Structure 1
Amino acid sequence: MSVLKILAILNILLFLGIILFYRGDKNRLFIKYILLSFPLLSLFVVPMMDGFDIITIIFGLFFYRKRDVQLYNGAIYTILFSALLVVIATGLILSGQYGTDTLHEIIAVFTMLGFAKILIDECLHDPYFFYKAIGYLKITLLASFVFLAGQFVFGVERFSLIKTMNPNIILADAVRYPSFLSDPQTYSQFLAALSFTCLIKDPREEKFNKLNYVFVVMALVSIMVAGGRAGLMGWALGMSLVVMFGNASYRYALVTAIIAMYFIAINFQDKFAIFKRGGDLNETYEFRHSIWMDALTIFQKHPFFGIGFGNYANYVSVHHPDQVWVIDNEPLYFDQPESGYLKFLTELGGLGFICIFGLIMIPMIRSFVYYLISKDTSLILLIAGILAWMVGFYSTYSFGDTRIKLMIVTLVSLLISSRQRLEAIYDEMAAGDETEENTMLPIETHESPA
């Protein structure tokens, strides 16, 4: 039995041991455990289910307790998700083929839905639980820095959670570090998205901890170590949104980050893979462009329902056999066309693409409109994080890693619950102010006549 499988089993057993004897709120414990055991969740125990799937299914069957809450204006999400299921089923029936990843991807659709439902309900039940979830994401980000440091010391090949070494990691003149993720491009998306959570402040705290700015700079340094150009572009676009619509303190933070990055880059540029990839830029683009053209051809042949969910590798092995890696003298067909957007278009068609990105874009648009009213910066920061991921998503299908799916589902779920959550907080604050005013009113006394 491999070390990775042992780690996966131990993670599940640890969850069972904790949940069985925990006397507190088990729904919140589930969310906490998932976000804090993040690095281990993509490890497979059985071929069709990874750690996240198994833990979520066990919790949903035996420990979940329904909350007496209701999400307002949530019907659109139910409609889009139901339509997505119809598209998936229709695409698989029409294709008549099932890839090796199909069953796992279908299971993941439902386990991600279950996690999103529980997280949204918890944020509606307790509006301040939102800030605990943000805290767990920050801890996960810091854990990636620690793991990255371990790779510097021991080397990527000795210190990783990868079963098969990705060809994008060790290059001719550079090493691109993926931390506990499977791909350096995926890691750069992870860093770009979660760095914005470091800037979210709990309103119950009097002062914002300036150490969070250090974490943002560390995320940028890690992006350069990973050699993630698209991730860096995504972060820049997300930060531009924050600077345009956020308060002045973020402008100062951006200037500080740029100055810090300038001095770090000047003194340690030989350590950063991102500065060593200029020579392969044209070659990389030509390689990807050919695959993108093939993917567009596939989409044009199957424009509505696609070739079948999780069926890309199976399809190209027959129709585009040149899309193949040779690893350890064995052919490994591409399971994605070097673009997340094209992956959805080819496998799910235009209808599935609309459903998936409708579930992502509608919360972003609604939250942005509400931000213009409420000016709560947590909204614009979550939007910036998702936007940063979306930029990087064009260059690689990062949803192949369960942890990136989980990250985006978490950020989107926090956005979905935000308006209702913030209105509850504002009502609570208004009620507190009214109570305070009433206690300060003078008490009238009536003297008895002499």
Structure 2
Amino acid sequence: MFISFENNLNQWKVLNGFKTAYIFALAFMTLQFMFGLKFTLTPDIGVNVFNEDTGVTRYQGIFGDSQLNGQFLAMGSFMFLLFQQNISIQKKYLNYCGFILGVVYLILAGSRSAVGGFLVGLLFIFLLSNLRVKVYGLVLGFIAISGLFLFAPDNAIFSRSGNLSNDLDFRQSIWEETIIIIENHPFLGVGLGNFQEFTSKYNQDLYLQVGPGEFLFFTQPENGYLKILVEHGIFAFALFSLFFIIPFLNVTKGIFFRSISKKTYYLIAALCSWLIAFNTVYTLTDYRILLLIALILFFIIVVFSKEDKILNETL
């Protein structure tokens, strides 16, 4: 039995509300391009926003950090692919423009992990699409990649590609130290929000020198999953994982055993983009990221709950 996902879209006013908020976020970034980084909502700008040595800017948008902005833009762009098929052609084009603008501003945010997650989400959609969509996707992808390399060689993503190996070694050193802490406190962890305080007392190698004689101890181990493990322990991590494992299992079952709306793939792609980027930075402390993840999970749960209800009524 096939559930018409499109028939439920007009009931989800929160989806249109999010799209409106997303457009405001893009407009805010536009003003930031025009007036500079001083045009911001938060006085505390992340250390990775502007590189004084290279002059490269990674725009943080409505956030205080470009990585959070990248994750928000990556997830939100997929939401513009959710619309009813019977809407006017003008509204369809507006949704496609929202998706394209989201991708462009994602590049300007300069977060490699967010772009990587976005590409994984696109790959998921590509593999499950029909042949015509795959052909269009390959052509548009080739044009987009060519344009990026031709017109944006100084973008934060490309300019930092040469440091990828060094960045990975740096993060791996932090991960290895964090894993040792997890092994010593496997069940309950070191406590909510205690990573920085714990490492400043017992693992003083985990710091970043931000200036002459000025040191900053990490508030997180540069990995969202390790952050949950080290602060909450394996039981809380297992519960956290179920929020994402169950939706993926439902979608997998729907793909192989039942017919589900292909628009559900966009929700999974959005979720994939965040799960990949979460591997490099913990972002659940920001309520905007948390609300968007909760919104996506809610949509997925509603889709499959309605589908199960229809199936049970027809049996």
TM-score band w.r.t. shorter chain: 0.7 to 0.9
Query: Where do residues 110-149 of structure 1 align in structure 2 (5 Å cutoff)?
Result: 127-128=8-9, 131-149=12-30
Amino acid across the alignment from 2:45: M
Q: Which of 37, 47, 71 is residue 167 of structure 1 equivalent to?
A: 47
1:192 and 1:351 map into 2 onto residues whose CA distance is 29
The answer (yes or no) to whether the contact 1:189–1:389 under 8 Å persists in 2 is yes
Amino acid across the alignment from 1:151: Q
Query: Where do residues 245-394 of structure 1 align in structure 2 (5 Å cutoff)?
Result: 245-248=128-131, 250-251=133-134, 254-255=137-138, 257-325=140-208, 332-372=216-256, 373-394=258-279
1:249 and 1:215 map into 2 onto residues whose CA distance is 22
The alignment status of 1:155 with 2:40, answered yes or no, reads no
1:254 and 1:185 map into 2 onto residues whose CA distance is 26
Q: Which of 179, 183, 189 is residue 61 of structure 2 equivalent to?
A: 179
The answer (yes or no) to whether the contact 1:307–1:346 under 8 Å persists in 2 is yes
Amino acid across the alignment from 1:169: V
In structure 1, the gaps of 5 or more residues are 1-125, 431-450
Is the partner of 2:92 in helix, strand or coil? coil
State the 1:278 CA deviation.
2.4
**Taking every aligned residue pair, what percent have the same amino acid on both sides?**
27
In structure 2, the gaps of 5 or more residues are 1-6
Considering Cα pairs closer than 8 Å and 6+ residues apart, tell me whether 1 or 2 has the greater RCO.
2
State the 1:177 CA deviation.
0.8
Higher-Rg structure is 1
1:346 and 1:271 map into 2 onto residues whose CA distance is 37
**Aligned pair in 2 of structure 1 residues 250, 131: CA closer, same or farther (>3 Å)?**
farther
The answer (yes or no) to whether the contact 1:371–1:380 under 8 Å persists in 2 is no
State the 1:330 CA deviation.
6.5
For the aligned residues, what is the CA RMSD? Answer: 2.8
Is the partner of 1:304 in helix, strand or coil? coil
Is the partner of 2:75 in helix, strand or coil? helix
Q: How many equivalent residue pairs?
A: 302
> More displaced, 416-425 or 140-149?
416-425
**Aligned pair in 2 of structure 1 residues 252, 196: CA closer, same or farther (>3 Å)?**
farther
State the 1:296 CA deviation.
0.5
Is the partner of 1:199 in helix, strand or coil? coil
2:85 and 2:304 map into 1 onto residues whose CA distance is 15
State the 1:209 CA deviation.
0.7
**Aligned pair in 2 of structure 1 residues 263, 286: CA closer, same or farther (>3 Å)?**
closer
The answer (yes or no) to whether the contact 1:368–1:379 under 8 Å persists in 2 is no
**Aligned pair in 2 of structure 1 residues 326, 165: CA closer, same or farther (>3 Å)?**
farther
Alignment correspondent of 1:198: 80
**Aligned pair in 2 of structure 1 residues 326, 130: CA closer, same or farther (>3 Å)?**
farther
**Aligned pair in 2 of structure 1 residues 420, 199: CA closer, same or farther (>3 Å)?**
same
The answer (yes or no) to whether the contact 1:127–1:425 under 8 Å persists in 2 is no
Alignment correspondent of 1:242: 125
Query: Where do residues 435-446 of structure 1 align in structure 2 (5 Å cutoff)?
Result: none
The alignment status of 1:188 with 2:83, answered yes or no, reads no
Alignment correspondent of 1:415: 300
The answer (yes or no) to whether the contact 1:168–1:184 under 8 Å persists in 2 is yes
Query: Where do residues 213-224 of structure 1 align in structure 2 (5 Å cutoff)?
Result: 213-224=96-107
**Aligned pair in 2 of structure 1 residues 232, 272: CA closer, same or farther (>3 Å)?**
same
The answer (yes or no) to whether the contact 2:9–2:83 under 8 Å persists in 1 is no
Alignment correspondent of 1:437: none
Amino acid across the alignment from 2:39: F
State the 1:406 CA deviation.
1.2
1:423 and 1:293 map into 2 onto residues whose CA distance is 44
Query: Where do residues 67-78 of structure 1 align in structure 2 (5 Å cutoff)?
Result: none
State the 1:142 CA deviation.
2.0
The answer (yes or no) to whether the contact 1:364–1:415 under 8 Å persists in 2 is no
The answer (yes or no) to whether the contact 1:127–1:424 under 8 Å persists in 2 is no
**Aligned pair in 2 of structure 1 residues 128, 278: CA closer, same or farther (>3 Å)?**
closer
